[in-house]
């Protein structure tokens, strides 16, 4: 595991603000989180409309433990914060995840054990969001809940949408955004077309081609 210590910066943003993140194509790096100001206005909007903002995710301290040492690294106190009946994401989601991690080629060799730990952390992230969201919808059955999450979590119906449905949230709609600087119409159509293995990217795909 010594060669992989640089991966422990996963999910920390290397960009100071959202403009820099966008200009430098930070969305292409799966190990870098969005700076907070990318979410700031969306977080404040519900309060301006007499609605709620929800924190759906697990504490980062727990996902970091799983990322570094697997589920066995969690203490009983940590496990008490996990959602009931949690499980890993499905096989197709894992395959996409693995391909994405190995495909970057920017962090050196990665062991299968590390990829497995990372996927468990990803799965617990999805599971906790789905559990918290499902609990809210049970309390507010007529509400519309919009979940802002990294695109990978929602693509092709895997990850978060699958976990939401497994916990009884049946009306789930996904929107995927793609940035393709100066792309032609044919290139954008090709990007939005169903994947041969994974199917439709989302219920609605939005592509911007402005540099």
Task: Indicate whether 37 pLDDT > 60.
Answer: yes
| 69 and 154 housed in the same domain | yes
* Cα 145 to Cα 65: distance, rounded to the nearest angstrom: 29
| 140 and 189 housed in the same domain | no
Q: What is the number of structural domains in the chain? A: 2
Task: Look up the domain containing 43 and give its range.
Answer: 2-172
| 72 and 60 housed in the same domain | yes
| 144 and 197 housed in the same domain | no
| 35 and 111 housed in the same domain | yes
| 57 and 147 housed in the same domain | yes
| 88 and 74 housed in the same domain | yes
| 148 and 199 housed in the same domain | no
* Cα 169 to Cα 182: distance, rounded to the nearest angstrom: 38
Share of the chain above pLDDT 70, in %: 88
134-166 pLDDT tens trace: 999 999 989 899 998 888 999 999 999 999 999
73-95 pLDDT tens trace: 999 999 999 999 999 999 999 99
| 144 and 194 housed in the same domain | no
Q: What is the pTM of this model?
A: 0.81
Which helix or strand (DSSP H or E) is residue 205 part of?
Answer: strand 204-208
* Cα 2 to Cα 8: distance, rounded to the nearest angstrom: 11
CB distance 158 to 130 below 8 Å: no
| 66 and 108 housed in the same domain | yes
Beta-carbon contacts of residue 210 (< 8 Å; ≥ 6 apart): 181
CB distance 144 to 46 below 8 Å: no
Q: What local confidence, expressed as pLDDT, does residue 122 receive?
A: 94
CB distance 10 to 67 below 8 Å: yes
**What residues form DSSP beta bridges with 7?**
none
């Amino acid at each position: 595991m010594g060669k992989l210590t640089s991966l422990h910066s996963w999910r920390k943003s290397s960009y100071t603000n959202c403009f820099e993140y966008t200009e430098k194509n930070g969305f292409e790096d799966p190990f870098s989180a969005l700076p907070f100001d990318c979410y700031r206005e969306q977080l404040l909007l519900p309060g301006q409309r007499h609605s709620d903002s929800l924190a759906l995710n697990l504490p980062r301290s727990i996902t970091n433990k799983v990322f570094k040492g697997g589920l066995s690294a969690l203490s009983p106190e940590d496990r008490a914060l996990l959602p009931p009946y949690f499980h890993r994401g499905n096989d197709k989601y894992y395959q996409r995840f693995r391909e994405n991690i190995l495909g970057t080629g920017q962090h050196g060799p990665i062991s299968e054990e590390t990829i497995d730990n990372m996927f468990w952390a990803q799965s617990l992230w999805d599971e906790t969001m789905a559990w918290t969201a499902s609990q809210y919808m049970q309390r507010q059955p007529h509400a519309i809940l919009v979940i802002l999450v990294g695109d990978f979590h929602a693509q092709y119906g895997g990850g978060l949408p699958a976990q939401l449905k497994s916990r009884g949230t049946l009306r789930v709609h996904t929107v995927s955004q793609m940035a393709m600087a100066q792309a032609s119409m044919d290139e954008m159509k090709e990007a939005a077309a169903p994947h041969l293995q994974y199917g439709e990217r989302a219920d609605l795909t939005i592509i911007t081609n402005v540099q």
